[in-house]
Amino acid sequence: MNIENILRKNIEEYLLDQYYIPSLNFDISRTKKDFVGHLTIVLFPLIPIIKKSPSDIAFEIVNFLNSKSEIIQDFNVIQGFLNISFKDSFLISVFDSEKKENKNQKELFLIEFSSPNTNKPLHLGHIRNILLGDSVSRIFQHNSINVHKTQIINDRGIHICKSMVAWIKFGNDSSPESEGLKGDHFVGKYYVKYNEEFDRQVKQLVLNGFSEDEAKKNAQIFIEAQEMLLKWEASDKDVINLWKKMNSWVYEGFDQTYKKLNVDFDSMYYESNTYLTGKDIVLEGLSKDVFFKKEDGSIWVDLTSQGLDEKLLLRSDGTSVYITQDIGTAYLRYKDHPAMKGMIYTTGNEQDYHFDVLFKVIGLIGYPWSSKLKHLSYGMVDLPSGKMKSREGTVVDADDLIDQMVEKAKSISESLGKTNNYSDRKKNDLYKTIALGALKYHILKVDPKKRILFDPNESIDFNGNTGPFIQYTYARIKSLEKKNNNNQDFSKVNLSEKEREIIIILSQFDLIARSACKNLNPALIANYIYELVKSYNSFYQSSTILGNKPINSFRIQLSSKVGEQIKTSMELLGIDMPERM
RNA sequence: AGCCCUAUAGUUCAACGGAUAGAACAAAAGUUUCCUAAACUUUAGAUCUAGGUUCGAUUCCUAGUAGGGCUACCA
């Protein structure tokens, strides 16, 4: 139970007891720096209802609290703000009480993230997606919610055919092994080769008098890719085999990257398995007049009454589009997990409209679970040079970025000379931990809906509000614990103001975790950790400067608690904590 | 054209409608008898514009400005 909740509960009781007010929203927040107190109750909302002056209300509240138990040391009222200072004995009792897990029956949420195309490697945009999805999953689990992590793999369509055509043309019989490339990079290379050849052919056709648009439709290699897609849909054996081979290379590459990022999945859904289901559902909806058919045979949904447009669901030639398979995937997932309380889609905000449409269409079909679908959308990751475009080669490759981060962690650590006595293996593990800590924290600390400006050269700092700084603080605490194992009674400790501050921050963790869960926002956790670390460092510094020796056991205990909390919190972001660094 | 998102120190980020808008980086100045100086302490510096809602607005509403996205028989 945290302090804020205890206070809130008591005040609610007071309102009910004294004024028969059953529910009223009022604010409790940390007392601002320049005022005396620990927590502040904002009285303004109470004034018009109780019809007394703020100071009268404040006295009543304090008297009520004191009549129940002696927890208040002091208080003051400034304007409509009631600032309360708690007794040390109360703070210590809160600090000392073990957290009780609420193990109610657990709900199940499906969380979809990553969901790449299978024609090229993962890039920085995927990293934000993966980290968000993974972190939200961890936060859900922390809040006693079961999580099923899943993906939709876009393994079907013209894009993968492009890589296949290029591979036949330029690299037949080559393999990731023969070229010494990671599988996804290998396939991506042929996707790039396709585009180079395509551009060359288009240029040639334009020189021969074609318009730009015509040239794009008539480029030989594009026609070959289209033919291959048709063969794929007709289950041509050779094409299917090649398709399987290429995809397996890609999956192998993806797995390595997931492993590096320390994320995993409970299931995969493949578009090639779900698009037909989607098609069936659309046809069924057509027969029930939920959708309508245009003269050319294409099938549409009319969402104009809900403020959206008409949307295509099936092409005139009967083939499916993006949203068709999404309908099928959602349906299959619901069939697999009928008890799910919610399904969360993690995608970039350029798909906001798409998901708006998808959820409404599923609702129109009449599936009651449409209300359980949620979209976790996040802003783009931009580079200083502008938007990432794979066609223009301005993407930041995920693997390259991670390697670069490890290199940087290495050079910084070595220049500080703190790891000299480590084995090579330990050093490398540490560099990876630091590098990933930096990357993950840097991305997750930003509100998901905002865009991130990512400078690959200098944006990752190892000072200030960063992952490594938090890791470092943790390592220091661990070292402190190691040197001081004395376990004494600390019931008669006089707390310093900084210690009180830390205890109150510590006690707020569950509130923050719940809020982060509700808002699908790991940034709340990150900000909490940093605040805790900052307070702790300041406390640590003042303690050492005052030369409080011998180190009293309460300080060790407090440090230890802070360390524990930092670790728990950072784990919600998927960040490992090194014991030494 | 319509719809959606964003706008805060030089820069990157904070702030359930609450007090004097917080941090970090960069800039300037300081602190090592100390459990890891990858630290700590100072100083300077910001709410896009105009209205409205109310005790009170960075936050909510309206209009505008700027940036981005979406409005594909692409995924």
Question: Following DSSP, what letter does each residue of A506-526 receive, concatenated?
Answer: HHTHHHHHHHHHHHT-THHHH
Q: Which nucleotides of B are covered by protein (CB under 7 A)?
A: 3-7, 11-20, 23-26, 31, 33-41, 55-56, 68-75
pLDDT of residue A551: 52
Q: Return chain A residues 430..469 having CB < 7 Å to nucleic acid strand B.
A: 434, 445-447, 449-453, 459, 461-466, 468-469
Question: Where does CATH 3.30.1360.70 sit in chain A?
Answer: 3-86
For strand B, is any atom closer than 7 Å to the CB of A312?
yes
CB-strand contact A157/B, under 7 Å? yes
The C-alpha atoms of residue A390 and residue A388 are separated, in whole angstroms, by: 7
A291 sits within 7 Å of strand B by its CB: no
Give every CB contact of residue A415 below 8 A, 6+ residues apart in sequence: none
The CATH classification number of A3-86 equals 3.30.1360.70
* A226 CA from B73 C1′ (Å): 15
Q: Residues 232-261 of A near strand B (Cβ < 7 Å)?
A: none
Q: How far does the CA of A45 sit from the C1' of B51, in Å?
A: 27
A496 touches strand B (CB under 7 A): no
Is the Cβ–Cβ distance between A405 and A438 less than 8 Å?
Answer: yes
Residues carrying CATH 3.40.50.620, chain A: 110-154+270-395
- Confirm whether any atom of chain B, the nucleic acid strand, is less than 7 Å from CB of A116: no
CA-to-CA distance for A484 and A94, rounded, in angstroms? 23
pLDDT value at residue A243: 94
The answer to whether the Cα torsion of A415, A419, A422, A427 is positive or negative is negative
Q: Supply angle C-alpha A329, A335, A337, rounded to 5.
A: 100
Residue ranges matching CATH 1.10.730.10 in chain A: 398-572
| A398-572 CATH pick, 1.10.730.10, 3.20.20.70, 1.10.10.10, 3.90.1150.10 | 1.10.730.10
For strand B, list residues 8-27 of chain A whose Cβ lies within 7 Å of it: 25-27
Side-chain half-sphere CA neighbours of A262 within 13 A: 16
Statement: the CB of A483 is under 7 Å from strand B: yes
CA of A390, C1' of B45: distance in angstroms: 39
Nearest to A570 by CA among A501, A481, A473: A473
* Model confidence pLDDT, tens digit, residues A284-297: 999 999 999 999 99
Reported CATH class of domain A110-154+270-395: alpha beta
Give residue A172's pLDDT: 79
- In terms of phi and psi (left: phi > 0; alpha: psi -120 to 50; beta: otherwise), the region of A166 is alpha
Q: Say what the pLDDT of residue A548 is.
A: 47
The 10 Å Cβ neighbour count of residue A100 is 7
Q: Using the CB atom, is residue A296 less than 7 Å from strand B?
A: yes
Would the Cβ of A322 be found within 7 angstroms of any atom in strand B?
A: yes
Question: How many residues are recorded in chain A?
Answer: 581
Nearest to A23 by CA among A43, A34, A9, A33: A9
Question: Nucleotide B17: nearest residue by CA–C1'?
Answer: A27
Segments of chain A with pLDDT less than 50:
547-550
The spacing between the Cα labelled CA in A106 and the C1' in B4, in angstroms, equals: 35
- Write down which residues 336-375 in A have CB closer than 7 A to strand B: 349-354
Contact A85, A72 (CB under 8 A): yes
Check residue A32 and report its DSSP letter: P
At residue A162, the pLDDT reads 92
pLDDT in tens, A37-88: 999 999 998 888 888 888 999 999 999 999 888 889 999 998 889 999 999 8
Widest pairwise Cα distance in chain A = 93
Tell me if A367 sits within 8 A of A334, measured CB to CB.
Answer: yes
Amino acid A449 CA to nucleotide B48 C1' distance, rounded Å? 20
Question: A430, A581 in Cβ contact below 8 A?
Answer: yes
Instruction: Give the residue from A321, A407, A310, A401 showing the smallest Cα distance to A364.
Output: A310
